[in-house]
Structure 1
């Protein structure tokens, strides 16, 4: 038996510690967790079939612990070190997201676990954005921001040492893992002391409020931590009943019988008091609460249809409220099939296959014939990743209505990977591999 703690266990420890820390920092997060847990129980009680399907696929066990966080860093060195730190917990960079397309001067990836076992143990994800310094047009301000970032170290010396230890010896023992969690948590902790004077903060904020959030503090404080709900529309409706002020619209696809991809909403950012380096005091708003509902992952073909329909809806203009927005989306998305058999047969979405115990079948039969015979079942594969337009919409709604939004889309995955000091993993390829592996394992059960 290995003396090293499994990476999945370290990730679970870190995720729970992060959640407890954020609950202390943002009291409304605790209220949100209670609301989501209540609604999830109601959904499962009202739909035993869904509860059984989630249990069989391993989704039910992970539901209550599922979280994703988000941070923003300022330099390539910070991003590369985060890649190493997350690797200790079995989290790897999946997907490339260009948020400049929606007026936010960052590009991003999501650090997350990769395989079924790890995802079911704890699917903790951290959406991690790198500031696009080249998008700051004011040369003097860009140089000042670079100077400020170069002077800080967002990792404790012990965290750096433990990452190096894990890399050298191939893991961490229980004592090392506990120290690693405590030290790594310091990178994500909120500090009200800014590293700059108030005038610099205001100048960076005038360029874009997100730039000020990235540059002016000791570290990339976690700006939201997101639980997963089974009914985001009900969460949106009830937030105001528990004293939470939700954003106007739910981002992502409309409500459907067969949920697809990712739907997200949030409550408005905290206004927090900041102590500036020149002894001035001011206010900063960037940290907020978020909720998500995840559906089936889409293939390249499915994403092309989704993106086309979303663009069509956006061309119709912005709706005044969530009901109008959802009605507009629903009308456009009537062109997207809304039953799992069609989604699977038309190659629009990914599924995991399971052999039905006790049923004899010929593994050489066609997949559709095996499903028809009741020997094989196909379960929707949950989308584990993010949508750039939705992420930018959440960011913008919490940065304020005056946030700049005229950046020209400048996707540059090569630049991001150079900063990361490694390649990002293609998320669609991961789903394809998982789907094929599940089918081969299911067919092998008939031999």
Structure 2
């Protein structure tokens, strides 16, 4: 099929994101309540913070904020992960970053599938945090092999979905009709299924090893376990959730409240209890319940450079070494105070962050041809000082392993029978994935460099025309 007759990957991604949101709203009604609350808070925040509005208009589209979502899924086998990579590629989503969640006691390692170029992110920045179960971390050899056998027998993608992926790879894309079918077929992979693949006894054994292991192994597909809208004021959402009948987790994960937000802050409401059925010895269904899916909210700040990230990690470790947040929230106030005190060492002014090389920024020409003529011979610092060029933070598009684990544990329970020590293995993950993961720092650095080069080129052209 000629490329110009294919639907753009961005359009397919936007359609899939909308379909996923509608499905999850129907499956988890509290998610719809959450979306309404986030929409209200975002509107209020933009109305009172004109500087934030101007920055968002310079670097993103404000319309993007209301549609922005990230989801999360957990896969069981290398084959599932490799096929999922091909599925997301049809939507213009590539694997970015490697996350070892075993360092926080969760037996998975992960990547984030997302668009990577500036234009695609502005159209729709849908991301899916995708984890692969680490069966090698299960101590019980018999249980490990039983889980491996169950996972090897399941098929999470329909034949039609696989066929459409192959067609997109062969033809360089999909027609409008095929794109619509693709969204429907792939959406079914993420749908909740209430009939377990295992009996109650095996579920209990898996659950005793870790609740997440039970969630991955016991069902026939990687049901979307949360879908996350982006808020511009996570503290306001956290405070107002109880008034909407939603019980939030005790603390917001990530950095403290700041004038200049960095990286990612996340909170969630408690996982819902859902009716499921397990097979008994005779193969008949037995009604029971399972807890796994929840609602999450995020506030995104600036993407940090390696230097900035090292400082962030050090300050977070320092705070958590002093006060470890309790799952029940009993020391929440002490933790928040300790976290805020620790992060006093991180500059809270955009220009200080920029000059210290701690974060990535987008540069744009602020002024007219007059300024372009005036700018002849100036370097970037002079241009910024003269008000010719403005700088705005590049939004962080990725994730934080400690925060992700904190969300998982607060919703799945943190009283697992087995502890997991940090055991990163990016080589093994990429082997399962069938491709390397992109380096997020390089993506942000390239974006910043390209914006600076565009500014200088525009100013040279303006000076020549003056």
- TM-score of the superposition, structure 2-length normalised? 0.94
> Are 2:195 and 1:189 aligned?
no
> Are 2:322 and 1:316 aligned?
yes
Residue 344 (structure 2) aligns with: 334
Residue 363 of structure 1 deviates from its aligned partner by: 5.7
Q: CA RMSD for the aligned pairs? A: 1.1
Structure 2: runs of 5+ lacking an equivalent: 461-466
Residue 446 (structure 1) aligns with: 459
> Are 2:126 and 1:124 aligned?
yes
Residue 61 of structure 1 deviates from its aligned partner by: 2.1
Residue 59 of structure 1 deviates from its aligned partner by: 3.9
> Are 2:94 and 1:88 aligned?
no
Residue 378 (structure 2) aligns with: 365
Question: CA contact under 8 A between 2:138 and 2:144: conserved in structure 1?
Answer: yes
2:288 aligned to which of 282, 303, 321: 282
Residue 401 of structure 1 deviates from its aligned partner by: 3.8
1: distance between equivalents of 2:429 and 2:279? 31
Question: CA contact under 8 A between 1:103 and 1:404: conserved in structure 2?
Answer: no
Residue 444 (structure 2) aligns with: 431
- The equivalences for 1:108-119 within 5 A come to 108-119=110-121
2:395 aligned to which of 382, 398, 403: 382
Residue 355 of structure 1 deviates from its aligned partner by: 1.1
- TM-score of the superposition, structure 1-length normalised? 0.98
> Are 2:358 and 1:348 aligned?
yes
Question: CA contact under 8 A between 1:250 and 1:322: conserved in structure 2?
Answer: no
2:175 aligned to which of 173, 176, 180: 173
1: distance between equivalents of 2:405 and 2:13? 27
Residue 321 of structure 1 deviates from its aligned partner by: 4.3
2: distance between equivalents of 1:403 and 1:288? 19
> Are 2:309 and 1:303 aligned?
yes
1: distance between equivalents of 2:408 and 2:27? 19
Question: CA contact under 8 A between 1:363 and 1:443: conserved in structure 2?
Answer: no
Residue 463 (structure 2) aligns with: none
Residue 28 (structure 2) aligns with: 26
- The equivalences for 1:43-192 within 5 A come to 43-192=45-194
Residue 310 of structure 1 deviates from its aligned partner by: 0.4
Residue 206 of structure 1 deviates from its aligned partner by: 0.6
Residue 431 of structure 1 deviates from its aligned partner by: 0.4
Residue 402 of structure 1 deviates from its aligned partner by: 1.9
Q: Name the stretch that deviates more: 68-77 or 364-373.
A: 364-373
Residue 464 (structure 2) aligns with: none
Residue 156 of structure 1 deviates from its aligned partner by: 0.6
Find the residue that maps to 1:171 and give its secondary structure: coil
- Deviation track 1:206-230 (CA, whole Å, cap 9, x = no partner) reads 1111001000101000000000001
Structure 1: runs of 5+ lacking an equivalent: none
2: distance between equivalents of 1:405 and 1:291? 29
Question: CA contact under 8 A between 1:250 and 1:264: conserved in structure 2?
Answer: yes
